[in-house]
Chains A and B, each alone.
Chain A
C-alpha cells in the first residue's frame, strides 16, 4: 500500500492549492499518484480547475467530472472506493468546514485500512475565523470525531494571495506556530510561493515548501487589488 495524505482545513484555507502542489510533487517520484478532489461544498476554484495541468504532470485526477463538475449536488466520484484499496500514492482534497466531516466519516474505514496516513490541517491565519483558536479547535474536533482518525500535523499557509510578502508570511506563520502549540500538533510544512521562499531566513528552510498558485485566475496576477 502506498502513501496517503489528506488535506483538510477551513473554507478557503488554501487546502486545494496545497493539495495540487503536493500531488504534482509526488508525481515526480511516483507513477501512481492520484489526487482526489472530494470538495462537495463549492465548485468555484476547486482542484478540478487544474485538471489539464495535473494530467500534464502525470497526476491522475479523481473528481466529479463532465456535466457534474458544476452539478451543485453532493457528488463523490465512485471510483474512490476501489482506488483507496489499491496500491497507489493518494492525496485527498477534503471539503472545507463541517461538510468535510461527512466525507471523512464515509471514508474512515478505508483510511484506517491503508495503515499509514498523513492528515494535515491547513491553516491560513489571514482568513476570517482561522485567526481564532476556538474556530480551529472546533473544526479539528469535528473532523477527528467523524473520521475516527487524528490529525498528524499542520500545514502553515499564511498568505494574502498577490499581496503576500515576507513580513506577512513570517507574522502569519508565528501565529500558526502558536496555534500548533495549543493544539499539540507539529507544524510539518510552511507553504510559500517561490518569490517569498527566496528571501526566507535560513531557519525556515527545513519546513518551507514552494507552491505555485495553479488555481488562481491568470488575469488577477499582477493586476493589483484595485478597481
Chain B
C-alpha cells in the first residue's frame, strides 16, 4: 500500500492522472493553482499535454476540443474562473463530451475572497450556463476522496458522456493528509463517437447547433432521458447516526467532516443528532433526506453560504419536517461552534 502525504489539490491531480487524464487546460487562480502546478510538472513526462491558456474561455474550449477526441481531459479553477467557463460547459454538455471540471471554491460574489466557500452550489447543480442541462457534481470530504472522486469522476463522465464537476472548499484543496495512492485505471469504455481520425468509417461530427425546432426539442428530450438515468442510478450520500436522530444535519464537503465531530459532541449533551453528507450534489440524494423525515423532528442545513442546498433539502423533505439553516461565509467553522448551533436548534424545537 503506497501512502503519500498530499494536499487535496495534489491528490485530485494525481487521481486524474491515474484515471488516464492526458490533457490539462487551465488558467491559474487561488486556491486551485496547485492542481495546475502538479499537472505542469507531471503531464509532459508521461506523454500528456499541459497548457496554461491565455484565459479561462480559451481553457474550457481547449477542454471541449480535447474531450471531442475521446481523450480524458480536465480543467480546474475557482469561482470567478468557473463563471467565465460556463459558456463552454454548456456547449460541452450539449455535445455530450466527457471531461472533468474542478472548482476549488472561494468566497463570492464578484472577486470576493480566497477563503473557503460553498457558495457555488447553485451554479454547479443548476447547470450554470445557458440552456437546459446538468453536469454531475461530486463533493469530496477528504484528501483521499479528492483522489478517489477524480477517478470516479472520469468513470461517470465516460459512462454518461457528461461533464463531471468536482467541487471542494479551498481549505480541502490545501489540507494535507496521508493518501493511499490508487492503482492506475486500465479499463476504458469504447468511444465510437470520438473525433479520432475517420479512416474506414464515416466522419464523426461534434456540433451543438440545431436549426429546426424538432431537432432542438429532440436533443433536449434526449439529454433529459439521460439525466433521468443518472438520477435513478448515481445518487450518493453517507449517513452517520441518523437511525434514532431527532435532529439531522445535512452538510457536504470538508464541512461535513467537521460536523461529524459536532454530532458526537451533541449526543454527549443528550441531543440525538445525526448527519447526512451528500457526496453527489447533482443528482441530489433526495431519498436519503426523505428517509429520515419519518423519524427525525428537524433537519438542519449547514453550509458555507447564505443557504443554497437548503432548497434541495426542502424539496426532498416535502414539508414533512421543518428545515432550519446555519451558514458562515469565508470561514470553515470549528466543531465547537457547530455543536453550539445544533444544541440551540434542539432547544428551540424542545428536543
Contacts and interface: CB of A to CB of B under 8 A. Distances in A.
Contact of B10 (A45, A128, A159): A128
Contacts of A218: 334
Given A219-B257, A219-B258, 4 more contacts: A127-B5, A160-B178, A225-B142, A225-B177
A44 B171 contact: yes
Contacts of B256: 227
Nearest to B178: A160
Contacts of A124: 5
A125 B238 CA distance: 34
Given A72-B114, A223-B261, A127 B30 contact: no
Contacts of B143: 225
B4 A227 contact: no
A126 B5 contact: yes
B178 A163 contact: yes
Contacts of A116: none
Interface of B: 3-7, 10, 14, 30-31, 34, 38, 41, 113-115, 141-144, 170-171, 173-178, 238, 256-258, 260-261, 277, 334-335
Given A12-B7, A126-B5, A219 B174 contact: no
A141 interface: no
Given A42-B31, A223-B257, A129 B114 contact: no
Interface of A: 11-12, 42-45, 70, 72, 124, 126-129, 131, 159-163, 217-220, 223, 225-227
A227 to B, nearest CB: 5
Nearest to B258: A219
A73 to B, nearest CB: 10
A12 B31 contact: no
Chain A contact residues, majority secondary structure: loop
Contacts of B258: 219
B176 A128 contact: no
Contact of B260 (A72, A126, A223, A225): A223
A124 to B, nearest CB: 7
Contacts of A70: 113-115
Given A12-B7, A161-B5, A161-B176, A219 B335 contact: yes
Given A128-B6, A128-B10, A223-B260, A44 B144 contact: no
27 contacts: A11-B34, A12-B5, A12-B176, A42-B30, A42-B31, A42-B174, A43-B114, A44-B31, A44-B170, A44-B171, A72-B30, A126-B4, A127-B4, A127-B5, A127-B6, A128-B10, A159-B5, A160-B3, A161-B5, A217-B334, A219-B258, A219-B334, A223-B257, A225-B142, A225-B144, A227-B238, A227-B260
Contacts of A225: 142-144, 177-178
A192 to B, nearest CB: 15
Contacts of B34: 11, 42
A122 to B, nearest CB: 13
Given A12-B5, A72-B30, A128-B14, A227 B141 contact: yes
A44 B168 CA distance: 14
Contacts of A11: 34
A72 B34 CA distance: 14
Contacts of B260: 223, 227
A116 to B, nearest CB: 33
A225 B254 CA distance: 12
A160 to B, nearest CB: 4
Contacts of B142: 225-227
Contacts of B5: 12, 124, 126-127, 159-161
B147 to A, nearest CB: 12
A141 B4 CA distance: 25
A167 B170 CA distance: 32
A64 to B, nearest CB: 13
Nearest to B13: A128
B148 to A, nearest CB: 12
Nearest to A73: B30
Contacts of A226: 142, 144
A131 B14 CA distance: 15
Nearest to A164: B178
A219 B280 CA distance: 24
A159 B3 CA distance: 11
For the complex of A and B, list the 10 residue pairs with the smallest distance between their C-beta atoms, beginning with the closest: A44-B174, A160-B178, A126-B5, A227-B257, A163-B178, A72-B114, A72-B30, A219-B335, A219-B258, A160-B5
Contact of B178 (A45, A161, A219): A161
A196 B30 CA distance: 35
B38 to A, nearest CB: 8
Contacts of B14: 128
Contacts of B173: 44
A126 B141 CA distance: 22
